[in-house]
Amino acid sequence: MSIPGYRVQPVQAVRGTLAVPGDKSISHRALMLAGIAEGRTEVSGFLEGEDCLATLDALQVLGVRIQRPAAGRVTIQGAGLQGLRPPAAALQMGNSGTAMRLFTGLLAGQSFQSELVGDASLMQRPMERVALPLRQMGARVDTIAGRPPVRVGGGGRLQSVRYELPVASAQVKSAVLLAGLYAQGLTAVTEPAVTRDHTERMLRSFGVEVSVEGRTTSLTGPARLSATDIAVPGDFSSAAFFIVAGCIAASGTMVLRNVGINPTRTGLLDILRLMGARIRLVDQRMSGAEPVADLHVERAVLRGVEVPRHLVPLAIDEFPALFVAAACAQGTTRVTGAADLRVKESDRIAAMARGLQALGVSVDVLSDGLVVQGGEIGGGTVDSCGDHRIAMAFAMASVRASAAIEIADVANVATSFPGFVELARQAGLGVSPA
């Protein structure tokens, strides 16, 4: 069987008014919290990508009743905090590190044991950062040399914990907070840098009292969740590719509608503005607990910058797109403090470096980042390493390429961005299956 790829022809400009799919992080959390709430929750704007569908399928295996009455809409009849049932087989997380880490926290307080597995890529990703604090809470969590399969639960009563994260991670923070819903007393997580706060916002929407003081987030368990309706905004991480394309090649103003602008997610905007980007947030408003806006992007001359380290955790998923922007900028862009990119769906530092070099871009590889020298982008073949964000980033490089770009191994784009090719064509990109 051949491995799917993209062939992307060079284009001179991108344009249009676009709507990206629903936010993946919020879609995962909406399903999980609705699954253990009391009552019926309706989620609109749900991302029907493979990652979120893996979470949906796992919840159904755990006994949660879920219906999908229309595209982008999901109705969940919550089972309550103690209403999940033992799975008959291992729960399949697909390619989703978010699902595996958050489910580890959610299942830590159950009376039954669960096993979490995934695809070949996910089975190589580190899980001990989640397992360690959960064990301190009294959970039974087993890994194989720190990697999946993850076996979790089995009757241990959880106790609250005050945990200081050694490395900033929204997924670890969220897993501990989810376990804290089942624990006796105050569970508190202190992080070394600000990370995305979708879990905290959504817990409040479900009626859980969550306190945030500085960089410490806490809640008291056991907690009761009450069903509520959730409107999922457009995914900023998906919008990021088109933001970058607009910054370097927009004809007039490119508009991205109804995009989530949670300040713990929008470090890319701050970095691009430091580089000289022209991006405006129009009609800023709230969609439930989350801020949203329409993004208006215009072409600008970008300049290389030293990326401030405090912005790195706020843009960690957007760095593949940012590295493409850096390749199109005047001068040198230096990124450090981004070692977490090494343990995503691929080693994103290595994958982006190899791909940019294949297109004639000069890069220096650091242990925790990249140094990118802006200049001309040629054509050529790049390997996305099965990583959806690498594949989409190099598709955007075509707006400055001198020849076609062949992108190998793109099947996992469907994990986060179903309909990517169609939307890219709508924007004027010359993307076609290879």
Residue 2 has pLDDT above 70, yes or no: no
Residue 198 CB neighbour total at 10 angstroms: 23
Closest by CA to 154, choosing from 104, 195, 117, is 104
Cβ atoms within 10 Å of 303's Cβ, excluding its own? 15
**Chain centroid to CA 117: how far?**
19
Exposed e or buried b per residue across 15-33, where buried means at least 16 C-beta atoms within 10 angstroms of its C-beta: bbebebbbbbbbbbbbbbb
**What is the enclosing helix (H) or strand (E) of 390?**
helix 388-396
Quick: pLDDT tens for 318-341: 999 999 999 999 999 999 999 999
Where, residue-wise, is CATH 3.65.10.10 in the chain?
Answer: 5-22+233-433, 24-231
Residue 374 CA to residue 30 CA, distance in Å, equals 40
What is the pLDDT averaged over residues 257-264? Answer: 97
Q: Name the pLDDT band for 434 (thresholds 50, 70, 90).
A: confident
Q: Are strands 253-260 and 141-144 parallel, antiparallel or unpaired?
A: unpaired
Residue 13 has pLDDT above 90, yes or no: yes
Beta-carbon contacts of 26 under 8 Å, excluding residues fewer than 6 positions away, are 198, 202, 230, 232, 233, 260, 290
Alpha helices in 181-296 (DSSP H): 198-205, 236-249, 267-274
Structural contact between residues 174 and 103, judged by C-beta atoms closer than 8 angstroms: no
Q: Which amino acid is at 334?
A: R
For the question of residue 317 being annotated catalytic, the response is yes
Tell me the per-residue pLDDT of 268-289, one tens digit each, with 9 for 90 and over: 999 999 999 999 999 999 999 9
Nearest to 93 by CA among 127, 53, 63: 53
> Strand, helix or coil at 362?
strand
The fraction of the chain above a pLDDT of 70, given in percent, is 100
DSSP 35: H
Q: Is the pLDDT of residue 118 over 90?
A: yes
Q: What is the mean pLDDT of residues 403-426?
A: 95
Separation CA 25–CA 30 (nearest Å): 9
pLDDT in tens, 47-65: 999 999 999 999 999 999 9
Question: Phi then psi for 133, rounded to 5 degrees?
Answer: -65, -30
Residue 17, pLDDT > 80, answer yes
As a whole number of angstroms, the longest Cα–Cα distance in the chain is: 61
* Mean pLDDT within 357-371: 98
For residue 153, what pLDDT band results from cuts at 50, 70 and 90?
A: confident
Where does 24-231 sit in CATH, by number?
A: 3.65.10.10
CA 44, 232, 235, 58 torsion: positive or negative?
negative
Q: What local confidence, expressed as pLDDT, does residue 155 receive?
A: 75
Q: What average pLDDT does this structure show over 343-352?
A: 95
Report the pLDDT value the prediction gives residue 136, as an integer from 0 to 100. Answer: 96
Bridge partner residues of 364 (DSSP): 371
State the amino acid at position 92 in one-letter form.
Answer: Q
Amino acid at 43: V
Determine the pLDDT at residue 298.
Answer: 98
Q: What digits encode the pLDDT tens for the residues 391-400?
A: 999 999 999 9
What is the distance between the alpha carbons of residues 359 and 375, in angstroms, rounded to a whole number? 11
Q: Is the peptide bond before 149 cis (omega within 30 degrees of 0)?
A: yes
Tokens of 140: 């039974």
Q: Which pairing describes strands 73-77 and 65-70: parallel, antiparallel, or unpaired?
A: antiparallel
Q: Which of 23, 294, 317, 340 is catalytic?
A: 317
DSSP E strands in 330-387: the ranges are 332-335, 362-366, 369-373, 380-383
pTM value is: 0.94
Rounded Cα gap, residues 411 and 212, in angstroms: 39
Q: Provide the mean pLDDT of the chain.
A: 96
How far apart (Å, rounded) are the C-alpha atoms in residues 173 and 180? 10
Q: Which two tokens stand for residue 384?
A: 């996305």
What burial letters (b/e) apply to 375-410, b meaning 16+ CB within 10 Å?
eebbbbbbbbbbbbbbbbbbbbbbbbbeebbbbbbb
Does residue 217 carry a pLDDT above 90?
A: yes
Please determine, for residue 1, whether its predicted confidence score (pLDDT) is greater than 60: no
177-199 mean pLDDT: 96
Q: How confident is the model at residue 423 (pLDDT cuts 50, 70, 90)?
A: very high
d(CA 68, CA 244): 33
CATH topology for the 5-22+233-433 domain: UDP-n-acetylglucosamine1-carboxyvinyl-transferase; Chain (3.65.10)
Average pLDDT over residues 217-244: 97
pLDDT digits (tens, 9 = 90+) for 160-184: 999 999 999 999 999 999 999 999 9
| DSSP string computed for 164-190 | E-SS--HHHHHHHHHHHTTSBEEEEEE
Rg of the chain over all Cα atoms, to the nearest angstrom: 21
